Amino acid sequence: MSNVIKNPRNGCALHGALQTVQEIEGAVPVVHANAGCGVINYLANKTVGNGASRYSGFATPGTAVQERHVIFGGASRLREQIKNTIKVVNGDLYVILNSCESAMVGDDVDAMTREIVEQGEPVACTLIAGFNGGSHYGYEHVIYDILKSIDGVKKNEKSTDEKLINIFGIVPEKDPYWQGNLEEIRRIFAGVGLKANLFFGVYGGVNDLVNAKNAVASVVFSRWGELPAKLLKERFDVPYISVSSLPNLASDERELIEKVSEYAKIDPEVKESFLESEGRYERNYLSRIRDDIFEYDLGKRTLIVGDEEQVIRYGKLFKEVFGARVVGAVLTDALKKDEEHETDNTEILEAVAENIYITSDEKDIEDIIKRSRAQVVIGSSLEKRIAEKNNVSLLEFSYPIYHRAILNQTTVGVRGAVEFVSDYITAVKQAEKEKSQVLHDYLKQLKNQNSWQGHTSKKGQVKQINLVSELAARESI
């Protein structure tokens, strides 16, 4: 009955909410849980290359609930913690995050929040507990819950800004390139004279939450942004546009901007000149790799492991730029709560990949990779072992990525496309170089020794012979 899930790459809803809140400048999370809930999120994320977030790990304010708070209720402990946090941590908004524990015990977190708000403090809460879903669910719901209550906390008359666009669906820390990607989206919108309301990262902050209702439209870049966008539509009549993935090529950028221009005022001349320059940028760089495409046979059998948005984006790019065959796509964002979303990307996914799998179980993923006979895997560091074992090139682009610092790099827009493409070509060239190194070493060995049988294992011989014949065939030796 019970299955073992190997290396599930997503945390719980609390973790998603915590990651989200701690990436909003000016927002302070207050975790109402036993100490481990917050710490485990920190430990899981600290190995990935995004660097420390604002409240990294042990410094996260929390109630560190103990058994007596479970038995007698933890509400008064929470009250104490909020008050102390407000005293010692400066913030524009304090966000109380619920956990399995407080939800099961039934602590009235809502009432506690209202009590503190009535005292004039800027506090919001989310009642979702860890067990309600995965990290993506946590992102979506905490943003939704904050937007729902922020009006009562930060007074602000609605006045629509014709240039302001809300950006939803880029999950902080879950998209390894979330910071650079947000910045690239900002650049694209700025290019046509619009302002992106990013919420997170360098240009985001609590003010974006307050201003969200003043946006002229919201753009939802993955299904996980649907709920907050819908809320703004219902409450403040802010329309929203859903797209299946972030833009990559100049044509994607054009499509996006055209859609947005139905709601936002964009000067047609500015738009044309910007999109034209984006096209030029893309053409310039992509034309530089046309020789490589043929020389290294870059249209390989490819398998993509990642969140739905990334799978669609990377898949399209690989097909369009290299003419690759995407033999499989593994969606790792916990899609269980799917019923909540209107977004249905089945058709798009089917157009991108030949087979679609939904799992975040490493064992399943390893089996899928083995069966797929893919030559290239776009995935996370968790796929490294199986890729090496099967002699497959691995491009690490989805969560988690270890042993690499990812600060402001992007995989989005024409710049992201170029970055991605160069990484891929580098990986292929590196693999080729390693292969020819083996060949050269072997030939050298042959020259120096009369009898090599004594020095190499049988398996090693077979491997070398295979390599030699492969290289010989390709390099016509």
Partner 1 sequence: MAEKIGKHIAIYGKGGIGKSTTTSNISAALAEAGYRVIQIGCDPKSDSTNTLRGNNYLPTVLDSLREGNKIHLDDISVKGFGGVLCIESGGPVPGVGCAGRGINAAVNLLQELNLFEEFKPDYVLYDVLGDVVCGGFAVPIRDGITDRAYVVSSSDFMALYAANNLFKAINKYAPTGGAKLGGVIANSMKPGYHREIVDDFVAKTGTSIAGYVNRSLDVQQSELYGKTVIEAKPNSAQADIYRNLAKYIAENENLVVPNPLGSAELRDWARSWGDRIYDIENGVVNGLAEAI
Taking CB under 6 A as the rule, does residue 40 contact ligand SF4?
yes
Q: Which residues, 44 to 103, sit near ligand SF4 by CB under 6 A?
A: 99-100
For position 142 contacting ligand SF4 by CB under 6 A, the verdict is: no
Q: Does 131 bind partner 1 (CB under 8 A)?
A: no
Q: Is the dihedral of CA 460, 461, 466, 471 positive or negative?
A: positive
Q: In the bound complex, which residue of the shown chain has the CB atom lying closest to ligand SF4?
A: 130
Q: Cβ closer to ligand SF4: 44 or 89?
A: 44
The distance of closest approach from Cβ of residue 78 to partner 1 in the complex, given in angstroms and rounded to an integer, is 12
Choice between 62 and 169, CB closer to ligand SF4: 62
Cβ neighbors of 310 (< 8 A, separation 6 or more) are 175, 245, 304, 397, 398
Binding flag, residue 105, partner 1 (CB under 8 A): yes
Closest approach of ligand SF4 to the CB of residue 457, in Å: 47
Q: Do 206 and 24 touch, CB atoms closer than 8 A?
A: yes
Among 29, 130, 176, 315, which residue interacts with ligand SF4 (rule: CB under 6 A)? 130
Nearer to ligand SF4, 40 or 425 (CB): 40
Judged by beta carbon, residue 75 or residue 171, the one nearer partner 1 is 75
* Of 14 and 185, CB closest to ligand SF4: 14
Give the sheet arrangement for strand 93-97, strand by strand: 27-31, 93-97, 123-126
Selected binder of partner 1 within 72, 280, 297, 441 (CB under 8 A): 72
Work out which of 40, 44, 70, 467 binds partner 1, going by CB under 8 A.
70
Residue 68 as a binder of partner 1 (CB under 8 A): the answer is yes
Tokens representing residue 55 in the block: 């409240």
Piece of the chain touching partner 1 by CB under 8 A; list 4-12, 63-71, 213-221, 327-335 = 63-71
Contacts 24+ apart (CB under 8 A), 381-384: 382/7, 382/9, 383/305
Distance CA 413, CA 129 (A): 35
Interface with ligand SF4 (CB under 6 A), residue from 18, 27, 28, 33: 33
Q: By CB under 8 A, is residue 127 in contact with partner 1?
A: no
Does 131 engage in binding with ligand SF4 (CB under 6 A)?
A: yes
Please identify, using beta-carbon distances, which residue of 76 and 84 lies nearer to partner 1.
76
Q: Are the C-beta atoms of 400 and 9 separated by less than 8 Å?
A: yes
- Report the alpha-carbon angle 284-290-296, nearest 5: 140
Q: Which is nearer to ligand SF4, 128 or 368 (CB)?
A: 128
Nearest distance from residue 145's CB to partner 1, in Å? 23
Asked whether the beta carbons of 263 and 241 are under 8 A apart, the reply is yes
71 binds, among partner 1, ligand SF4, none (CB under 5 to 8 A by kind): partner 1
CB of 67 to partner 1, least distance (A): 6
If the CB atoms of residues 53 and 464 are measured against ligand SF4, the closer one turns out to be 53
Residues 300-329 that bind ligand SF4 (CB under 6 A): none
Give yes or no for residue 365 binding ligand SF4 (CB under 6 A): no
64 binds partner 1 (CB under 8 A): no
Interacting stretch for ligand SF4, rule CB under 6 A, among 33-41, 110-118, 270-278, 433-441? 33-41
Point out which residues bind partner 1 (CB under 8 A): 67-75, 104-106
Point out which residues bind ligand SF4 (CB under 6 A): 12, 14, 33, 37, 40, 99-100, 130-131
